[in-house]
């Protein structure tokens, strides 16, 4: 009960508003929650699963996760951690020391990047690494530049941290990539960070070393933090190369927070282990946020991740080869679909075809409606491009078997032809 300056108890006057109204008002959600857009990828996957549960013949090309089981050596490391009791207990918020060291060793071995374990934080997936980062670096109205098309959660997470997403459209003619000139045009006194996702979700395109150098030098010059989402860095195909932006110069490295994880490379999406590496002050801020939210990532998953990063890597190449083969099979089939224009992706495991002409042929004005009807009428589930900031496109995941991919394209072609004739 409040006490006045004189030391006497004070009483708050209660409203005479009916109790039911007060309860309803108090039980309503916050304004920031109401402003959140749902994840279109998760929504599409959920809808596909629901139809499949009802007995429908559904081919889902929605979710961005490998269709392989986690490699056995990683599974065994997890089982051992359970059996010996190590997985039974809380861990440090920033992650077990073995995993933080494994991350540092992994970056040095694969990319020549040198960090200290204290410059790392382990998180509940790379998604939560991004969340804790934005909560750490953003004050209200701070801006984050986000190239378009973008992964669906970037903008929403910035908004959750009370920041402002500033979207910059990568032109299809430039393989969806943004230029320094575009970034400079979008920059303001409130610009705090820029996100670079290469290879990209949803486009699969990769920034060249020269492109990254130009962006990195611009960010250093303007004291803008580079958020390097490198989650698809090991999934690169047909002789293309991935360059982590942090490798280009020491100055750029110091300006960069690397976001990565084990989900895509090691088929560990369900284990939920991501990490961030970079500036110690920012990393410590992220640890502080995590300490008041999740306490620590799941212990058994951390022990599994140590094995993923340190153990044999043959399975990584096997999966990469499988994705490459699927890409090379699927790409020409999709490129030949009526009205579709498509540049061949260089990495990740998505196609991002432009279907503007297809929509016109099928007499649709909205890509989301087209995607919904495609699912209802043919059982093929894609993700609308609207959630990625690209309303003329759809995202197709090829993280599934070849027969499913070929049958999905056959059904899509049939759907387009039937709608075009009506």
**How many structural domains compose the chain?**
2
Residues 108 and 53 in one domain: no
What confidence tens digit (pLDDT) does each residue in 106-115 have? 999 999 999 9
Do 194 and 242 belong to one domain?
Answer: yes
Same domain for 291 and 264: yes
83 and 228 inside one domain: yes
Q: What average pLDDT does the segment 175-203 reach?
A: 98
Q: Which residue among 291, 310, 329 closes a domain?
A: 310
- Residue 61's domain comprises 35-69+315-421
Are 165 and 182 members of one domain? yes
| Same domain (yes/no): 247, 344 | no
Instruction: Tell me, yes or no, whether 282 and 350 share the same domain.
Output: no
pTM of the model: 0.92
30 domain-assigned: no
Is 316 or 421 the better-scoring residue by pLDDT?
316
Mean pLDDT of 301-325: 98
Last residue of a domain, one of 293, 310, 327: 310
Do 108 and 206 share a structural domain? yes
Asked, for residue 1, whether it belongs to a domain, the answer is no
Domain membership of residue 18 (yes or no) is no
**Are 139 and 203 contained in the same domain?**
yes
pLDDT at 1: 47
- Distance (Å, whole) CA 204 – CA 367: 20
Residues 162 and 266 placed together within one structural domain of the fold: yes
**CA nearest neighbour of 310 among 96, 88, 130:** 96
Q: How confident is the model at residue 14 (pLDDT cuts 50, 70, 90)?
A: very low
CB 201 within 8 A of CB 232: yes
Looking at the predicted structure, is the pLDDT value of residue 11 above 50? no
- Other CB atoms closer than 10 Å to residue 292's CB: what's the count? 9
Can you tell me the distance from the alpha carbon of 274 to that of 294, in angstroms, rounded to the nearest whole number? 13
Beta bridge partners of 341: 354
* Residues 234 and 104 placed together within one structural domain of the fold: yes
Per-residue pLDDT tens over the stretch 147-185: 999 999 999 999 999 999 999 999 999 999 999 999 999
| Domain CATH number, residue 370 | 3.90.1150.10
Q: Average pLDDT, stretch 251-259?
A: 98
pLDDT at 52 over 70: yes
Distance CA 4, CA 322 (A): 72
Q: Tens digits of per-residue pLDDT, 361-377? A: 999 999 999 999 999 99
Decide: 121 and 283 in contact? Cβ < 8 Å: yes
Residues 384 and 257 in one domain: no
Residue that finishes a domain, picked among 278, 310, 342: 310
Q: Does the pLDDT at position 256 exceed 70? A: yes
């Amino acid at each position: 009960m409040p006490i006045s300056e004189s030391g006497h108890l004070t009483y708050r006057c209660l409203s005479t508003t009916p109790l039911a109204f007060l309860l309803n008002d108090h039980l309503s959600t916050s304004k920031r929650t109401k402003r959140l857009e749902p994840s279109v990828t998760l929504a599409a996957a959920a809808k596909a699963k629901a139809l499949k549960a009802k007995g429908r013949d559904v081919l889902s090309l929605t979710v961005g996760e490998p269709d392989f089981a986690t490699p056995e050596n990683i599974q065994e490391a997890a089982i051992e951690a359970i059996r010996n009791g190590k997985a039974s207990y809380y861990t440090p918020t920033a992650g077990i020391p073995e995993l933080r060291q494994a991350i540092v060793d992994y970056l040095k071995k694969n990319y020549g990047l040198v960090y200290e374990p204290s410059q790392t934080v382990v998180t509940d997936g790379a998604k939560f690494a991004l969340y804790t980062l934005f909560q750490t670096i953003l004050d209200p109205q701070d801006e984050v530049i986000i190239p378009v098309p973008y992964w669906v959660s970037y903008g929403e997470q910035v908004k959750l941290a009370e920041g402002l997403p500033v979207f910059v459209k990568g032109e299809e003619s430039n393989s969806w990539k943004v230029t320094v000139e575009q970034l400079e045009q979008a920059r303001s006194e409130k610009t705090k960070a820029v996100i670079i996702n290469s290879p990209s979700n949803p486009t699969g395109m990769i920034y060249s070393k020269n492109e990254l150098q130009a962006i990195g030098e611009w960010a250093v010059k303007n004291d803008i933090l580079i958020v390097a989402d490198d989650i698809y860095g090991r999934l690169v195909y047909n002789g293309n190369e991935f360059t982590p932006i942090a490798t280009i110069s020491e100055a750029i490295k110091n300006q960069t927070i690397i976001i990565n994880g084990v989900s895509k490379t090691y088929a560990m999406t369900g284990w939920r282990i991501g990490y961030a590496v970079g500036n110690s002050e920012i990393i410590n801020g992220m640890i502080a946020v995590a300490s008041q939210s999740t306490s620590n990532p799941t212990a058994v998953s951390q022990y599994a991740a140590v094995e993923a990063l340190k153990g044999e890597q043959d399975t990584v190449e096997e999966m990469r080869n499988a994705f490459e083969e699927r890409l090379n099979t699927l790409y020409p089939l999709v490129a030949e679909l009526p009205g579709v224009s498509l540049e061949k992706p260089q990495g990740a495991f998505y196609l991002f075809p432009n279907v503007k002409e297809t929509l016109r042929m099928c007499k649709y004005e909205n890509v989301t409606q087209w995607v919904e009807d495609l699912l209802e009428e043919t059982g093929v589930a894609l993700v609308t491009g609207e959630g990625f900031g690209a309303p003329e496109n759809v995202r197709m995941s090829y993280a599934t078997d070849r027969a499913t991919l070929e049958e999905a394209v056959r059904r899509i072609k049939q759907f387009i032809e039937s709608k075009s004739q009506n």
